[in-house]
Homo-oligomer: A and B are copies of this chain.
Amino acid sequence: VARRNGKPSGKLIVIGGHEDRDSESLILREVVRCADGGKVVVVTVASEEPKALWQEYRNAFAKLGVSGLAHLEVPSREELVRNPPDGILDDASCVFFTGGGQLRITSEFGGTELCDRLRDLYYKGVTVAGTSAGASVMCDTMLVDGAAEESHKIGDSLSMAPGLGFMPDVIIDQHFAERGRIGRLLGAVAHNPRLLGLGIDENTAIVVERLECFTVIGAGAVYVVDGREVTGTNVAKEETERTLTLFDLRLHVLSQGDEFDLRSRRPKSHPAEEVESTLTE
């Protein structure tokens, strides 16, 4: 419990899905950099095709020079509880959650001893990365499902569930611009503007340090939806199928190299040259 009051020493790398794995692999290179050459454990519990996905990531990480690679496959929660793969997290520098379904991650892996162990390691310095579904699960309350390419309807089925809680006080959506998800993220933030909404594009990631700030890397944008100043909404009205009203949102669009301070909720820009020199160090 004490550790929850402290700050994690490990980084979070939260990826909006479809990160490049074949050419420049900018985001995976950052994962490897944060792992500092150490062991990377790929968790495929989200996926229905864990073996194929593991092959893909094994190849991608091997190409980037990672020698210590392990696959945490979770055939079922029962199996994970009965025969926990002891030692798989030993010496891990980074644990990487692949895409698939976020509910598979939380229902199969959440609350297990291995998950508790991972939280401990994260607080002690292990990097936790996740893409797509693996990004959504970082939150305390995660977005599971909701209509895309339409504005949010109040009373409509926006599906949320408890996430792994590695990044509290935010709610994350991925494949953001590509799948037209601004409506559902605004809906989620309207439910409780205490949470900062983060919409992450494909092949784009945030690198979170000590839960204090993050930096954007990758090709797309990260949308930060701050509802603290909202002056009007109808989200709690009991009129199903009525479209959401939401006044006075603050919206920031961040691209590669931009930083965001999670404590003050303020963005900060850096010249592109500076950024690129850091990334290619």
Contact = CB atoms under 8 A, between A and B. Distances in A.
A245 B170 CA distance: 20
A19 interface: no
Contact of A253 (B179, B186, B239, B254): B186
A225 to B, nearest CB: 8
A268 to B, nearest CB: 8
Interface string A123-157: 00000000000000000000000000111100000
A112 interface: no
B253 A269 contact: no
A269 B258 CA distance: 35
Interface string A177-189: 1111011001000
Given A243-B256, A269-B245, A151 B183 contact: no
Contacts of A7: none
A63 interface: no
B246 A249 contact: no
A258 B245 contact: yes
A243 B221 contact: yes
Contact of A179 (B149, B201, B204): B149
Nearest to A231: B267
Given A244-B221, A253-B244, A256-B243, A149 B269 contact: no
Given A177-B151, A221-B151, A249 B250 contact: yes
Interface in A205-257: 219-221, 232, 234, 237, 239, 242-256
The 7 closest A-B pairs by CB, nearest first: A180-B180, A151-B221, A243-B255, A246-B253, A249-B251, A151-B177, A247-B267
Interface of A: 149-152, 176-180, 182-183, 186, 201, 204, 219-221, 232, 234, 237, 239, 242-256, 258, 267, 269, 272
12 contacts: A149-B179, A150-B220, A151-B221, A177-B180, A177-B182, A178-B180, A204-B243, A244-B255, A245-B253, A247-B253, A249-B251, A251-B251
